[in-house]
Amino acid sequence: MRRMERLLAIAEHLRARRTGVTAEALAERFGVTVRTMYRDLASLREAQLPIGADRGRGGGYALDRHYTVPPVNFTAREAALLVRVAQHAARMRLVPFTDTLDAATEKVRAALGASAQRELLGHMAALEFVGVPALAGDGAVRRAVETAWFEQRVLRITYRSAEGVTSQRRVRIEKLVMDRAETRLVCRDVDLDAPRLFLLHRIVRAAVERVVSEG
């Protein structure tokens, strides 16, 4: 389980409990060391999740009982603009992470009732964007880049130069620069400890390095 997935799972586990739970029990449940669990709980607190800790029998870590995630309610007009702009961004390749963008827009649409869904389709039919598509990148490569970027993990890439020469690199992405023509990855070469610039459409293959969990 990736760390981000584990953090979300820990939060949901705490939300579902009526009593506290020890760090040792959490560590055993999620297959990590107690030290790693303490770091995870600290990260959740830094993310403003109200986790308290009580000592003694029946104590442990627990979420504040008054904590809830407020629902997000969109009007059909708001949803239409969000979905249409997201669709345009995907077609124009303004962002490389189209799978995540599609999943997000589906959640926006699913939040609407039946009548609002019909109204949404009417609004979307009246909205049209025209532009010049950017250079494409392979879908599997884009998914690997997304994971490496958001989780700050090392990415192994096979890169093809303008002359057609391929090379293998291990990089950590520091910044993404997207313009109308191309997406540039500002990276640091892990092995050489040197800055490097890569064009997304010239990455032939990409794979995120696995993280070995403690314990």
Report the share of the chain in percent with pLDDT over 90. 31
Confidence of residue 77 (pLDDT cuts 50, 70, 90): confident
| Per-residue pLDDT tens over the stretch 155-187 | 999 999 999 999 999 999 998 887 767 788 999
- Return d(Cα 190, Cα 170) in angstroms, integer: 6
The Cα–Cα gap between 205 and 140 comes to 8
Question: Average pLDDT, stretch 88-98?
Answer: 79
Quick one: pLDDT at residue 129?
64
Cβ atoms 90, 131 nearer than 8 A:
no
Query: Do residues 206 and 145 touch, judged by C-beta distance below 8 A?
Result: yes
Positions of E strands within 102-193: 155-160, 166-178, 183-189
- Does the pTM surpass 0.95? The reply is no
Q: Which domains does the chain have, with CATH numbers?
A: 3-63 (1.10.10.10), 76-125 (no CATH), 139-208 (2.30.30)
* In 48-97, alpha helices (H): 76-91
Whether the predicted pLDDT of 215 surpasses 60:
no
Q: How many Cα atoms occupy the beta-carbon half-sphere of 200 within 13 Å?
A: 31
**For 32, phi and psi rounded to 5 degrees?**
-130, 175
